[in-house]
Amino acid sequence: MPAAAARRGAYRLRPIAGDSALGTPAFHPQVRTHAELTLPGRARAVALTFDDGPDPDFTPQVLAVLRTYRVQATFFVIGENAAAFPRLLHDIAAGGHVVANHSYTHPQLTTLSLGKVKDELGRTSDVIERVLDAPPRWCRAPYGEWDAPSLRVCARLGMEPLGWSIDTNDWARPGIGSIKRAVTRGIEPGSIILQHDGGGDRSQTVRAVSDYLPRLLDKGYEFVRPHV
């Protein structure tokens, strides 16, 4: 059996990336028909998520803001970026954040052959496990586009698919105010907020997060990591 395949076969026996609790029980996700768009559970619990990193300029800035307000988030990393900047994966996990899978090169999974989907998701899980000694439990498809075959691959690699309910469109750099309004006007219990710490100039995102976080904390919102 190839080494990469052997590692993928062991995913369900090891703790989640970004989770410091050793001895996490084996994880056997079901094959889903869709990605969850909101969180279940506690009132006023919401999730911050960041895609397309890690980035050597903007990921540390996002982490600094989250550290200031003692907030945890989920980082859906691109495999080739994670391989290039492994230290940043350690920094994310050390902050108590979740490191999750966002494919290796950011293609639309629904346009790929089954073998290419396995490669995109499997290689990224390999990188995360190699760096953090723990596999990812969460995966987000680029552009949020899943189909039945890619969802099967996701489950077989030991991951749950996660979408979002608030799209800030920060990738387009619409302005700090626009990003803030998307969050503050759209937020409700269970919201999952989509933002980006990689893929371009994310200075607007950093500023917007630093502005809206204290306001939402004052309103009683609790920022949590996704859980199963």
Q: Please confirm, yes or no, whether 119 is among the known catalytic residues.
A: no
CA distances from 187 to 3, 155, 192 (A): 44, 29, 8
Question: 19, 51, 55, 119: which is the annotated catalytic residue?
Answer: 51
Q: Which two structure tokens, joined as six digits, stand for 200?
A: 């371009």
Which residues are CB-contacts of 134 (< 8 A; sequence separation ≥ 6)?
A: 14, 15, 16, 17, 18, 19, 128
Distance CA 117, CA 115 (A): 5
Distance CA 140, CA 81 (A): 16
Q: Please confirm, yes or no, whether 196 is among the known catalytic residues.
A: yes
Q: Which of left, alpha, beta for 142 (phi over 0: left; psi -120 to 50: alpha)?
A: beta
3-state secondary structure of 77: strand
* Cα dihedral 153/154/155/160 (nearest 10): -170
Q: Which two structure tokens, joined as six digits, stand for 127?
A: 């990188």
Question: 97, 102, 106, 196: which is the annotated catalytic residue?
Answer: 196
Positions marked active-site: 51, 196
